Amino acid sequence: MVMAANSSMFMRPAHEPLVIERAEGPWLYTKDSRRILDAGAGAVVVNIGQGREELAQVAAREMARLNYIVPVWSSAARERLTERLARWTPAGLDRFFFTSGGSEAVEAALKFAIMYQKAKGRPQKHKIISRWFSYHGNTLAALSVGGNLGRRADYEHVLLQWPHIGPPFCYRCPWGKTYPGCGIDCATALEEEIVRQGADSVAAFIAEPMMGATGGAVPPVREYWPKLAEICRRYNILLIADEVMTGFGRTGERFAVDHWKIKPDLLIGGKGLTGGYLPMGMIAVDEKLVEECEQAAADFMFYTYSAHPLACAIADKVLEIMEREHLVERAATLGAQLGAQLKERLSGHPMVGDIRGTGLFWGLEIVRDKGTKVPYAPDLRITSRLVGAALKHGLFVYPTSGMAGAAGGDGVMIAPPFVIGPAEIDYLIGNLHAALDEVHAGI
Ligand SMILES: Cc1ncc(COP(=O)(O)O)c(C=O)c1O
């Protein structure tokens, strides 16, 4: 029996609605005892897997001790968390601000950048440059820096008119070039945009270190981020790395910027910070920037639930578990196996245009024609059909779309919890193959 989702739900999935009763590790169980491998870790959230009793105990203890304080005060849990986080984040990024999720954290990062430039006597530096084919969240400023045309469409007329540049997307290079030998135009595009806008009008540049939900796990070429960092420094523009999806081990390093040893001015986190055990987001900011704001008596308003004591206690324990179980290293090792097997077993499929990723962060792009890379017509809803078919095979993969711009684009992300093993990788690929076959046969 398929459980009908509660009719009071505001949003309904494009595929079969499900009621999940319980979960353990990477597995979800429905009320009618169906077992689903969660190869999306939810919305790329559940890095440490589900059902950890240790966290339930922390939650019970912490809630009995302290359930809320105004965020300008601190708590023992918050002190523990910030001490631990300072060891996780790139050196120097050790001032933190906490939120209830990723979008709020993006808003906080944008506001901090604007406030910082004003505190430095440069109030006219207030524009934020971002990229097309990006996702930074659901609130209006986060959507303004976002670059998913479909998600922006209904709100385009009210969004902040900030500039966007093309993404580092070799499979569909916006400049029609091929790496190497392309001159890394995707990075020089930032400098060109800064000059076009006037450097004295730009506060910050924000980007996902690896394209996530719009694009489907696309690592850039290795020269890209060092070049961006150099450009930002040269023009006094803050570099904001949005690691809501890629942070906390997902790409096989603690943060994706660690792949290139880059220190952004601000780093945004969420999702894996608490592994889905509670909602929480954060920004980590260069200490010097915060001190300069403090010297200028600039004030940064909190959210009511900033640094909630229970969320702090859970995040601290989640990170402790990741350290104890070497889960970042595991994501790197298992991710290499997952990537190799995805390529070996799925790249020959007639619908699979590209397989890309790193760590446990992989994307599969679906195309109608592998030679020309032409996507399926959007009204065929290929992504939803594929996610639906996979669910029938006991597998959840995370939908991603929009990577072909106005032409649409379909794909799924494969980003399982770090606690999967070789048997689950085999199950995942076998059932994804079956789902692809079914969708292909039905077109
Ligand atoms: C890179 C990135 N930034 C921000 C967000 C927004 O986070 P949230 O959905 O927690 O508000 C997301 C969500 O997927 C994301 O992937």
Is the beta carbon of 42 within 6 A of some atom in ligand 1?
Answer: no
Instruction: Give me the CATH number covering residue 404.
Output: 3.90.1150.10
**Is 396 within a domain?**
yes
- Do residues 241 and 257 touch, judged by C-beta distance below 8 A? yes
Taking residue 371's Cβ as centre, other Cβ atoms within 10 Å add up to: 7
Going from the Cα of 110 to the center of ligand 1, the distance in angstroms, rounded, reads: 14
Is the beta carbon of 214 within 6 A of some atom in ligand 1?
Answer: no
- Do residues 314 and 354 touch, judged by C-beta distance below 8 A? no
Residues 185 and 262 in one domain: yes
Residues 174 and 252 in one domain: yes
Half-sphere exposure of 65 (CA within 13 A, CB side): 13
- For residue range 163-203, what is the model confidence (pLDDT) as tens digits? 999 999 999 999 999 999 999 999 999 999 999 999 999 99
Taking residue 100's Cβ as centre, other Cβ atoms within 10 Å add up to: 18
Going from the Cα of 319 to the center of ligand 1, the distance in angstroms, rounded, reads: 19
Going from the Cα of 187 to the center of ligand 1, the distance in angstroms, rounded, reads: 23
**Is 118 within a domain?**
yes
Alpha carbon nearest to ligand 1 atom 4, residue: 136
In the chain, % helix, strand, coil (3-state, to 5) comes to: 40, 15, 40
Provide the number of structural domains found in the chain. 2
pLDDT of residue 1: 33
**Is 58 within a domain?**
no
Question: CA quadruple 302, 305, 311, 312: dihedral positive or negative?
Answer: positive
267: helix, strand or coil: strand
**Is 438 within a domain?**
yes
Is the beta carbon of 167 within 6 A of some atom in ligand 1?
Answer: no
Is the beta carbon of 212 within 6 A of some atom in ligand 1?
Answer: yes
Instruction: Report the atom number in ligand 1 closest to the C-alpha of 271.
Output: 10
Instruction: Report the atom number in ligand 1 closest to the C-alpha of 270.
Output: 10
Residues 212 and 349 in one domain: no
Going from the Cα of 105 to the center of ligand 1, the distance in angstroms, rounded, reads: 9
**Is 9 within a domain?**
no
Residues 362 and 401 in one domain: yes
Q: How far apart are CA 31 and CA 53, in angstroms?
A: 21
pLDDT of residue 334: 98
Q: In terms of residue numbers, what domain contains 154? A: 66-324
- Do residues 259 and 253 touch, judged by C-beta distance below 8 A? yes
Residues 299 and 347 in one domain: no
Residues 172 and 35 in one domain: no
pLDDT of residue 4: 45
Q: What's the burial of 407, exposed, middle or buried (CB within 10 Å: 0-12/13-18/19+)? A: middle
DSSP calls for 412-425 = EEE---TT--HHHH
Residues 85 and 35 in one domain: no
Strand partners, 218: 211
- For residue range 346-363, what is the model confidence (pLDDT) as tens digits? 999 999 999 999 999 999
Q: Which of 262, 291, 324 finishes a domain?
A: 324
Residues 371 and 407 in one domain: yes
Is the beta carbon of 41 within 6 A of some atom in ligand 1?
Answer: no
Going from the Cα of 286 to the center of ligand 1, the distance in angstroms, rounded, reads: 21
Going from the Cα of 134 to the center of ligand 1, the distance in angstroms, rounded, reads: 10
Mutate to test the pocket of ligand 1, among 99, 104, 106, 244 (most ligand atoms within 8 A of CB): 244
Report residues of the chain scoring pLDDT below 70. Answer: 1-12
**Is 60 within a domain?**
no
Q: Which of 324, 356, 371 finishes a domain?
A: 324
Is the beta carbon of 101 within 6 A of some atom in ligand 1?
Answer: yes
Nearest to 439 by CA among 380, 400, 386, 397: 386
Instruction: Report the atom number in ligand 1 closest to the C-alpha of 246.
Output: 1
Residues 104 and 169 in one domain: yes
Instruction: Give me the CATH number covering residue 143.
Output: 3.40.640.10
Residues 437 and 318 in one domain: no
Going from the Cα of 12 to the center of ligand 1, the distance in angstroms, rounded, reads: 19
Instruction: Report the atom number in ligand 1 closest to the C-alpha of 268.
Output: 3
**Is 13 within a domain?**
no
Residues 314 and 335 in one domain: no
Mutate to test the pocket of ligand 1, among 271, 283, 400 (most ligand atoms within 8 A of CB): 271
Q: Which of 309, 324, 339 finishes a domain?
A: 324
- What are the C-alpha distances in Å from 424 to residues 122, 178, 280, 418? 53, 35, 28, 11
Tokens of 236: 């006094």
**Is 1 within a domain?**
no
Name 354's Cβ contacts closer than 8 Å, sequence gap at least 6.
Answer: 171, 363, 364, 365, 367
Is the beta carbon of 208 within 6 A of some atom in ligand 1?
Answer: yes
- Do residues 129 and 110 touch, judged by C-beta distance below 8 A? no
Going from the Cα of 228 to the center of ligand 1, the distance in angstroms, rounded, reads: 22
Whether the predicted model's global pTM rises above the 0.85 cut: yes
Residues 155 and 35 in one domain: no
> Angle at which helices 327-346 and 422-442 pack, to 10 degrees?
40
pLDDT of residue 118: 97
Going from the Cα of 344 to the center of ligand 1, the distance in angstroms, rounded, reads: 31
